[in-house]
Structure 1
Amino acid sequence: MAVGLAIANEGRGYSGKITSIVILSCMVAATGGIIFGYDIGISGIRFFIFGWLGSKDEFEDSEPLLPARPSGVTSMVPFLEKFFPDVYTKMKQDTKVSNYCKFDSQLLTAFTSSLYIAGLIASFFASSVTRAFGRKPSILIGGAAFLIGAALGGAALNIYMLILGRVMLGVGIGFANQSAPLYLSEMAPPRYRGAINTGFQLCVGIGVLSANLVNFGTEKIKAGWGWRISLVMAAVPASMLTFGSLFLPETPNSIIQHDKNHQKAKLMLQRIRGTDDVQQELEDLIEASEMSNSIKHPFKNILHRKYRPQLVMAIAIPFFQQFTGINVISFYAPILFLTIGLGESASLLLSAVVTGFVGTASTFISMLMVDRLGRRVLFISGGIQMFFSQVLIGSIMATQLGDHGEIDKKYAYLILVLICIYVAGFAWSWGPLGWLVPSEIFQLEIRSAAQSITVAVNFFFTFIVAQTFLIMLCHFKFGTFFFFGGWVVVMTAFVYLLLPETRNVPIEQMDRIQSILTYQDIVMGQDEALASLHHAGAISAIRSTLNLHEDAEVERSKFNLMKRKKRLMAVGLAITSESGQNNGKITLYVVLSCMMAAMGGVIFGYDIGITGGVTSMEPFLKKFFHKVYLKMKLADDKVSNYCVFDSQLLTSFTSSLYVAGLVTSFFASYITKAFGRKPSIVVGGAAFLAGTGLGGAAFNVYMLIVGRLLLGVGVGFANQAVPLYLSEMALPRLRGAINNGFQLSIGIGALSANLINYGTEKIEGGWGWRMSLAMAAVPASVLTLGALFLPETPNSVIQRSHDKQKAKLMLQRIRGMEDVQAELDDLIKASSPSKTNNKQSLKLILKGRYRPQLVMALAIPFFQQVTGINVIAFYAPLLFRTIGLGESASLLSAVMTGVVGTGSTFISMFVVDKLGRRTLFMIGGIQMFVSQCIVGGIMALHLKDHGGLSKGYAFVVLVMICIYVAGFGWSWGPLGWLVPSEIFPLEIRSAGQSITVAVSFIFTFIVAQTFLSMLCHFRSGIFFFFGGWVVVMTTFVYYFLPETKSVPLEQMEKVWQEHWFWKRIVGEVSDRQHKGEI
């Protein structure tokens, strides 16, 4: 058996330990987050306004300063000159345009948003791939598509090639985001699922940070091709994901689901659990697989009432994750460092490193705490943290930063601190939990479909945010912070009221999660209610929660009992029978497998981080977006600072990845289901690797876009398969942490991209962008190669091969014990619907019994995108430029926010399985809302169409952005992937994941397409816009998202059956089924 840390068996908990194969596999799968994060960091359009730090005499003797400039490749002059000349001209020559409007370019927005449309579409294909072929193939496809997109982007000769590469990146991210969180959740032992899944968000942060650093370096290349390096460097994580996924074992869940080989699944369980005692877990997998195989149309079935709670979460969590406002926060980092006295290059690097480090560290903390505190606690705490940070930042900007000028140094320091607080809040709540929770709450039969919905919603709202942010910033100004702060309140309330705790719940028992004391209990009377709880084996949990003795409970008046019930139902406290817990422990096998699978997040994060970086590099802009470059270069006082980069071509370049990812996610759904999770991961890594090659070698924009499209294909496959893989591999009580690894990987990828951008920006010769793009090949290669060695999840084994023995062996391996029968029974039971409905999962998910899951698959990625996170991630440097910092500070700010986001995701990984998903959702929502409101307020009052903020307000904005990013990093960031990947039944799991990915890509594309225009028109109000969405999503989580902490994937159905709202929908469907009406 694999070596791992033995965890004591708790009642009916699955046996097992953390094994090396789980660790390695999840590391590879989590690389899907790195490509996601790298793309965010490398291509996100981040801007800021130059502020002069010297004396008046020095200013008079100096060359005129640029009014504004983006980060990433879109901040590189050669890149803008080549592909977006209009934006370049507006940025360089028009000094009369408002600070908020210089980069409002539809083409530039389309470039950014195209990835999310591609990812959105790809996520639905990824659902089919994930369900039909397993999680591994989807991850592989995601990596491969991203690799192709990176290659096209780096080699782009024209805008069309650039956008095509962006689309391929979107396809890759669509597949990776659909499958990687699932892979992590399914591979992870239940009690460590949160930590392992949080690795995806950690990888996203790492990817963003890496992209920022790459952009910083390639921007210095004077030959004008530095942007090519930035884009092509995406091939590095894409290669890691693609080649690594070839070696990934399929999750036992996937093995059972599509191979139907129980023996193979058992062997895999034994391997990843490090024990022969995996029968219990294997039985859960088989039960879940039987249910999964009975469902032919998971996308149709997920619409049934039975799955309505999961559907709501699949939609709401990624939706809220995007509306945390994390992107708005990221937007402002570099300017604050420049304002407080650093040089341009130092400001650029420091902002990227600080925020990236804070985010990454926070994500690590989340990994450690998520399975101890639970998902809900992290959601709520992160939401509160983000909310106050946003409000403070918005207030400072409202009072100290006008349309022109800069912010006072003391306020800049304050904003810097607030930004770090925000980033930390996001990184340990919505960042990782946004991936973790969705990946662990879905029944096996709808898991892939629901995860696709989650990813699709995520991309969809990422697209919307990216498309509208610049318009919002232009019109809302500082109000953008209040806008997103409002949304943080909504999402935190949503988690508090509707999201049950899933910590320590085996993934295939997730449907058995209970909400305490239902309305029927109140009606029947307290004695009968308590007797029912005794019968369910839950009374001890109530005692431990309420610290009450049984006699005191029995003697409590009905009035007080009703109040207690009402309060607990609102919280969504999960009660599970101790005898119903799966055995198992964290095995090294599971850890390694989930780490490898989470690499799907690294390629996603790297693409996110690197895209923004290369689009801020002048050589990149000059070569591919010449009009943007000219607008940026020419000093025209009539063009608002917020509208310089409003270029449709540049927007299309960015958005193409998400379009490709969107389309790919649906293909990935079939591959994931038919062939397992592993093939999807491999395909995702390979596609991303190919895209990286094209991007780095691009000679025209067409080649650049083709590479971007391949990156989208890779991300589409990875996002579809990796979350499923993580959720199915993870122990229920640790599924949150393990699945959060996907978001952590995204953060790592984005952070890496930011750091790379920061370094490549300095390369003389103008080819630094090529290095930034080409470096994406590193995580892509790791994911692709590593995925080849990944084991398939037991769920997938039972679903595909019906080989109970294989699934049992796999359960025993990944759980590190022999006693896995209970979990195997759940898998077998879950696989039954999947076996009978194997070819129509997308249709099945529309049925009433899966309606809760379908709602979540749509709402979670939607909310994740309208948190505003991509506004922050894409456009952070613009915001910092806008408030008065210097040019290099744009990329440095991206690094800083990347560090904060990644650190927050780490925190989320540690607490998601202890506090629960709902808590982190709500905490993160509140934190993001407050941060957005403060930033929006400051910008509304002190940042005008021209000039900048005083240094003091700039510092406050920086701090608020960090706080926002932190809030997202531990809530909607990881949970937007976790929740959708864990809530779907096996029969619709792949389809559900594809829907999640597709929705994510749709709204990511919309955000990317509209953001620059919104920034130009909304101004500071864009922060209030997204803040309002944060309020909505927090409320949604509070009321409609049950807690999935510790719930086995194949028992997740009971989460909805016992939820105060969803039980009426699911129960009504069950009654009609018994009566033969449906």
Structure 2
Amino acid sequence: MAVGAAAIGPGSSEGFMHLVDPNRKWYNNRRIIILNGWLVLLLITSSTNGFDGSLMNSLQSMDQWKNFFNNPQGGTLGLLNAIQNIGSLAGYPFAPYLSDGIGRRPSIWIGAVCMLAGAALQTACQNINQFIGARFLLGFGLSIASNAAPMLVTEVAYPVYRPQLSSLYNTLWYSGNIVASWSSFGTARIQSDWSWRIPSILQAIPSFLQFFLIWFVPESPRYLVSKGKESQALRTLAYYHADGDETDPLVLYEFEEIKTAIHLDQESKKNVGWKALFATKGNRKRMGIIIAIAWFSQWSGNGLVSYYLNQVFDTIGITDTDIQLLITGILAIWNLFWAVFASFQVDRWGRRFLFLTSAAGMTLFFTLQTICSAEYAMHNTPSAAHAVIAFIFLFYAFYDLAFTPLIVSYTLEILPYSLRAKGFNVFNFTISVALIFNQYVNPIALKKIGWKYYIVYCCFLAFETVFLYFFVVETQNRTLEETAALFDGDDLDKLHQAGHQAVEVRHEDYDEKSSDPGVKV
């Protein structure tokens, strides 16, 4: 492998792909298989969030749940849906300091403990106040775990598979969504409180697994370097990315880029603290894109379906509980299919293409959904109601091309290590604010003006498409450090030089040893 790297000099502008061993694949390398297995444990953090989103939708269709809590309406219903995100808001001030301070793994464990407590209280609750408290705990723990988990996936994954794996993080939101939808569909037939308590127990499964297994997952090499544990970081990279070979060209390239990027950030006061998020032109561009895609992810009309699908059904005359739950369950499977499909195309098609295709498709099909909703409302046409359901499915197929797989992975890859935890926290905070706003406003607006409320989202979707066209930057086939440097200009050459110099030194050392008859190579 060292010989293959020799053609690339220290000043080359090429990235890491030429250093990758073509024979080292995820399916034939034991250590990459083990690494990916541990990464799945991190990816299911998103399943807890997806479970909650679908659970509240399903519970609102259950007579047993509505009767137990005296049929909550209006502001009470809005609070029940929003309280999880309010809990997340309460956790955000702590999340980045935990992730950067004590490490990614301990932060995930703390989040799992909080979510286990929330799921237990939700299962055993006897009144609406306890239910609200349980959902607050779930949100608080989720904000801590979901800050650290996707960062750890992004920072420890084998570089060839990082885009796909980090894109799968948010995609697995739908795995929780599916379990919640179909378990609720089944338990709705239980004529007791267990119809909604059993799904509440199932919500704890991802956190239960993380509570016991998280300590077997490797810690982020970038976190280790930032804490002065460079030898441990090198061993981690070598163990999982090169079968333990600390002189492997790819490992040396990664290690030197990581060290250089982190040391450059530590030397510059502009890249330290919260003010750094907006201190430079590159950082302001990053944060503008990050805040925008976070808000777009919840303000594209999907919030109506995610939390208030039963009320959307009511506006088009579909009131049967079984049919509502059945459509919810099928939609979750449909969403997972398209999101997983898009996750494996991120390096083939590019982030920019996926974002623009997604936004244009959503605008088209949400507009058609609005037209058919109006037709049903004004003329009570059954075929228009069926068309609304079809357009909801088509709308989500395009939503899932970008706004499920890319919003987390793209945010993390354009942020430098020194700002990653804080910048990602801003991303999550923006989503929570958008969700809370939607969860209070949507039920009121749907009740007051019905289908006319959809017109607001049609206009906003058109704005999203224009914004993404002008601001999204392509990031294909780059390491994390190289991607982050796209926004900072001069540092990109320094990173390339550091990586290639390390490989060149290794190659020269290899040549010297191979020319010495007394040394085995």
TM tier relative to shorter chain: 0.7 to 0.9
Residue 850 of structure 1 aligns to a residue in which SS?
Answer: helix
Shift of 1:1000: 0.9
Q: Distance in 1 between matches of 2:133 and 2:4?
A: 53
Report the structure, 1 or 2, having the larger strand content: 1
After superposition, give the CA deviation of every residue in 1:627-661 in whole Å (9 maximum; x if it has no partner). Answer: 54xxxxxxxxxxxxxxxx4x101111110111111
Q: Find out whether 1:842 has 2:274 as its counterpart.
A: yes
Q: Distance in 1 between matches of 2:33 and 2:194?
A: 41
List gaps (5 residues or longer) in structure 1. Answer: 1-7, 14-279, 281-533, 538-575, 629-644, 1064-1078
Shift of 1:920: 1.3
Contact 2:62 2:321 in 1 (8 A): no
Q: Which of the numbers 864, 874, 883 marks the counterpart of 2:297?
A: 864
Contact 1:881 1:889 in 2 (8 A): no
Q: Which of the numbers 804, 810, 825 marks the counterpart of 2:230?
A: 804
- Which stretches of structure 1, 4 residues or more, deviate above 3 A after TM superposition? 8-13, 534-537, 578-586, 833-840
After superposition, give the CA deviation of every residue in 1:243-291 in whole Å (9 maximum; x if it has no partner). Answer: xxxxxxxxxxxxxxxxxxxxxxxxxxxxxxxxxxxxx9xxxxxxxxxxx
Q: Which residue of 1 aligns with 2:509?
A: none
Shift of 1:901: 0.7
Q: How many residues align structurally?
A: 474
Q: Which residue of 1 aligns with 2:467?
A: 1036
Contact 1:1043 1:1055 in 2 (8 A): no
CA 1:850 to 1:1010, structure 2 compared with 1: closer, same or farther past 3 Å?
A: same
Alignment of 1:50-199 (within 5 A): none
Q: Distance in 2 between matches of 1:827 and 1:942?
A: 57
The farther-off stretch of 846-855 and 650-659 is 846-855
After superposition, give the CA deviation of every residue in 1:539-562 in whole Å (9 maximum; x if it has no partner). Answer: xxxxxxxxxxxxxxxxxxxxxxxx
Q: Which residue of 1 aligns with 2:507?
A: none
Q: Which residue of 1 aligns with 2:105?
A: 678
1:871 maps to a residue whose letter is: L
Shift of 1:578: 4.6
Alignment of 1:687-766 (within 5 A): 687-766=114-193
CA 1:990 to 1:582, structure 2 compared with 1: closer, same or farther past 3 Å?
A: farther
Shift of 1:975: 1.0
2:342 maps to a residue whose letter is: S
User: Normalized against structure 2, the TM-score is what?
Assistant: 0.85
Q: Which residue of 1 aligns with 2:375?
A: 941
CA 1:870 to 1:590, structure 2 compared with 1: closer, same or farther past 3 Å?
A: farther
Q: Distance in 1 between matches of 2:438 and 2:3?
A: 45
Alignment of 1:813-962 (within 5 A): 813-817=239-243, 818=245, 819=248, 820-833=251-264, 835=266, 841-848=273-280, 849-885=282-318, 886-944=320-378, 949-950=381-382, 952-962=383-393
Shift of 1:752: 1.0
Report the structure, 1 or 2, having the larger helix content: 2
Q: Find out whether 1:654 has 2:59 as its counterpart.
A: no
Q: Which of the numbers 198, 201, 215 marks the counterpart of 1:771?
A: 198
Shift of 1:590: 2.8
CA 1:814 to 1:1033, structure 2 compared with 1: closer, same or farther past 3 Å?
A: farther
Contact 2:375 2:384 in 1 (8 A): no
Shift of 1:750: 0.8
Q: Distance in 2 between matches of 1:596 and 1:654?
A: 27
1:969 maps to a residue whose letter is: D
Contact 2:265 2:272 in 1 (8 A): no
Q: Distance in 2 between matches of 1:615 and 1:579?
A: 50
Identity of aligned residues (%): 21
CA 1:823 to 1:743, structure 2 compared with 1: closer, same or farther past 3 Å?
A: same
After superposition, give the CA deviation of every residue in 1:786-814 in whole Å (9 maximum; x if it has no partner). Answer: 32321112111112x22211111111123
Residue 981 of structure 1 aligns to a residue in which SS?
Answer: helix
Contact 1:732 1:1045 in 2 (8 A): no
Q: Which residue of 2 aligns with 1:620?
A: 65
Contact 1:598 1:722 in 2 (8 A): yes
> RCO higher in 1 or 2 (8 Å CA, sep ≥ 6)?
1
Q: Distance in 2 between matches of 1:1058 and 1:926?
A: 31
Contact 1:696 1:770 in 2 (8 A): yes
Q: Distance in 2 between matches of 1:839 and 1:983?
A: 14
Shift of 1:925: 1.4
Residue 616 of structure 1 aligns to a residue in which SS?
Answer: coil
Q: Distance in 1 between matches of 2:350 and 2:157?
A: 15
After superposition, give the CA deviation of every residue in 1:402-448 in whole Å (9 maximum; x if it has no partner). Answer: xxxxxxxxxxxxxxxxxxxxxxxxxxxxxxxxxxxxxxxxxxxxxxx
Q: Which of the numbers 391, 395, 414 marks the counterpart of 1:983?
A: 414
Q: Distance in 1 between matches of 2:469 and 2:163?
A: 18
2:170 maps to a residue whose letter is: Q
CA 1:967 to 1:699, structure 2 compared with 1: closer, same or farther past 3 Å?
A: same
Contact 2:270 2:276 in 1 (8 A): no
Q: Which residue of 1 aligns with 2:477?
A: 1046
RMSD: 2.8
Shift of 1:844: 2.5
Shift of 1:1057: 4.2
Contact 1:736 1:978 in 2 (8 A): yes
CA 1:704 to 1:838, structure 2 compared with 1: closer, same or farther past 3 Å?
A: farther
The farther-off stretch of 647-656 and 1030-1039 is 1030-1039
Residue 765 of structure 1 aligns to a residue in which SS?
Answer: coil
Shift of 1:916: 1.5
Q: Distance in 1 between matches of 2:5 and 2:146?
A: 32
Contact 2:413 2:484 in 1 (8 A): no
